[in-house]
A = this chain, B = another copy of it.
Amino acid sequence: MNDRLSDTFAALADPTRRAILARLASGEAPVTELAKPFDMSMPAISKHLKVLERAGLVARGRDAQYRPRRLEAGPLKEAAEWLGTYRRFWEESFERLDEYLHELQTKEGKHDRSKRKK
């Protein structure tokens, strides 16, 4: 998995990492603070952060002994754009559902009452 999109999706495929991003959405934070919500060792968090950094989703700052992380949205945008090319498929299914419901409504009572609930 060497391409950008693969790295991004792989980074997002973990709830801990998504939670870290969610936290960073409300502002930059040092590692110890990012680690707080998780029942996990510091090195484990460090590794998750490294994954997020390699994917370009998170950047590392420095402030005294702190290494505050901040969100970098570029790769999220790319991922969203990739998904966007499939938008018509989920919109289509709504159209079909719509169509189906409409059909049910207009054909109401014409046949198959026996199988209708209540």
Contact = CB atoms under 8 A, between A and B. Distances in A.
Interface of A: 1, 3, 5-10, 12-15, 18, 21, 25, 71, 73-74, 76-77, 79-80, 82-87, 89-90, 92-93
B18 A13 contact: no
Nearest to A78: B90
A6 B9 CA distance: 9
7 contacts: A1-B14, A9-B13, A21-B86, A73-B86, A73-B90, A76-B83, A80-B84
Classify the secondary structure of A's interface with B: helix
Contacts of A14: 1, 6
Contact of A77 (B1, B5, B76, B90): B90
Nearest to A79: B83
Contacts of A93: 73-74
A87 B80 CA distance: 9
